[in-house]
């Protein structure tokens, strides 16, 4: 693949994810969106809400210098187990302080919810105020759906940006849409663009298709994923052909050339059989 420094780590927090109680749809959604924007997702991990594990993972991921962006979901709410902000502060070795922007967001959101009759009071209780304590040196991301602000941290030493988003899928998606312009800007800086296309073959046996895919990989710097069904279904195998480039046009041209060459090879094979 084209070399890129637009690498991403997706970190989802929550004991409920590890126990299987909650399906981890956040990781799937973020991975798809980050790839579409132009990032290379190198790792997706799910870890429990434990300070030592989360803080160490963040610290090690930063020091590795591998990731341009780290996205963390979960643990931003008002309950005792929502401690992502503290975990991040620990990893960065900075104090957690009351953030005026975060407090403004929390206050505004509870006022809106109270006016809509969705909460009994708009008072900023200790549990609500807790969500406004952020690691020193971080900034907020507005939450248009829930109440907990997101967190963004830019590490100039390792050239890494950390985004902390809520674990509730509806909130996460709304806040993710807010940071998309910044994510696109990072990809433009790193000259990383993604393009993919689908291709339906006449093969129903993946082992017969494999030699053709090897020829494509030898000739083109693309990634090919075959999506076979079970033998009983006997459906034509679908392929996803993708690549990255320094421009969107470069990535698109490479993928389409690979697709056309593959089509040519398969068509030739089919005509020989007939």
For residue 42, the 8-state DSSP code is E
State the pLDDT at residue 2.
Answer: 38
* Residue 149 C-alpha from the chain's centroid: 18
- Which burial class, exposed, middle or buried, applies to 134 when counting CB atoms under 10 A from its CB (0-12, 13-18, 19+)? buried
- Give the bridge partners for 240, in sequence order: 198, 225
For 196-230, what is each residue's pLDDT tens digit? 999 998 888 888 899 999 999 899 999 999 887 76
Q: What is the mean pLDDT of the chain?
A: 92
For 66-103, what is each residue's pLDDT tens digit? 999 999 999 999 988 889 999 999 999 999 999 999 99
Sorted by where each begins, the domain ranges of the chain are 7-189, 194-273
State the pLDDT at residue 33.
Answer: 97
Q: What are phi and psi of 225, to 5 degrees?
A: -120, 120
d(CA 213, CA 225): 9
Q: Do the strands 193-200 and 160-165 form a parallel or antiparallel pair, or are they unpaired?
A: unpaired
State the Cα torsion 7-13-19-21 to the nearest 10°: -100
User: The tokens of 218 are what?
Assistant: 């030898």
d(CA 192, CA 184): 9
Distances (CA, A) of 226 to 187, 221, 260: 27, 16, 16
Average pLDDT over residues 122-132: 96
For 5-49, what is each residue's pLDDT tens digit? 799 999 999 999 999 999 999 999 999 999 999 999 999 999 999
Confidence of residue 274 (pLDDT cuts 50, 70, 90): low
Strands of the chain, DSSP E:
7-13, 40-47, 69-73, 96-98, 133-135, 139-141, 150-155, 160-165, 193-200, 223-227, 238-245
Q: What are phi and psi of 112, to 5 degrees?
A: -65, -45
Is residue 269's pLDDT more than 80?
no
Is residue 193's pLDDT more than 80?
yes
186-219: burial string, b at 16+ Cβ within 10 Å, e else: bbeebbbbbbbeebebebeeeeebeebbeebeee
State the pLDDT at residue 1.
Answer: 36
State the pLDDT at residue 227.
Answer: 84
For 103-122, what is each residue's pLDDT tens digit? 999 999 999 999 999 999 99
Is residue 232's pLDDT more than 80?
no
State the pLDDT at residue 273.
Answer: 67
In CATH, the number for domain 7-189 is 3.40.980.10
> pTM for the whole thing?
0.86
State the pLDDT at residue 3.
Answer: 42
Using the structure block, give the residue that is written with the tokens 């994923």: 225
Is residue 135's pLDDT more than 90?
yes
For 234-247, what is each residue's pLDDT tens digit? 678 899 999 999 99
Three-state DSSP state, 240: strand
In CATH, the number for domain 194-273 is 3.30.70
d(CA 85, CA 163): 11
For 166-182, what is each residue's pLDDT tens digit? 999 999 999 999 999 99
User: The tokens of 17 are what?
Assistant: 């994810």
d(CA 107, CA 146): 12
State the pLDDT at residue 30.
Answer: 98
* Residue 20 C-alpha from the chain's centroid: 20
Is residue 233's pLDDT more than 60?
no
């Amino acid at each position: 693949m084209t070399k890129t420094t637009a690498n991403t780590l997706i970190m989802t927090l929550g004991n409920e994810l590890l126990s299987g109680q909650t399906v981890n749809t956040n990781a799937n959604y973020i991975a798809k969106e980050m790839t579409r924007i132009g990032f290379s997702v190198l790792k997706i991990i799910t870890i429990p809400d434990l300070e030592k594990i989360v803080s160490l993972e963040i610290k090690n991921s930063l020091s590795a210098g591998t990731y341009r962006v780290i996205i963390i979901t979960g643990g931003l709410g008002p309950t005792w187990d929502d401690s992502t902000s503290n975990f991040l502060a620990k990893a960065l070795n900075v104090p957690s302080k009351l953030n005026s922007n975060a407090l403004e967001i929390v206050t505004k959101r509870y006022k809106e919810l109270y006016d809509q009759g969705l909460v009994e009071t708009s008072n900023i209780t200790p549990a609500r105020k807790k969500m406004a304590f952020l690691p020193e040196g971080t900034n907020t991301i507005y939450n248009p759906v829930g109440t907990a602000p997101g967190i963004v941290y830019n590490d100039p030493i390792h050239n890494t940006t950390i985004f902390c988003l809520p674990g509730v899928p509806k909130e996460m998606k709304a806040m993710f849409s807010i940071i998309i312009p910044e994510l696109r800007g990072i990809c433009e800086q790193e000259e990383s663009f993604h393009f993919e296309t689908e291709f339906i073959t006449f093969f129903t046996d993946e082992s017969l298709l494999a030699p053709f895919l090897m020829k494509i990989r030898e000739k083109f710097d693309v990634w090919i994923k075959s999506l076979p069904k079970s033998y009983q279904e006997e459906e034509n195998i679908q392929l996803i052909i993708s690549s990255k480039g320094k421009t969107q046009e470069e990535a698109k041209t490479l993928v389409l050339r690979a697709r056309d060459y593959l089509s040519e090879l398969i068509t030739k094979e089919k005509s020989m059989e007939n």
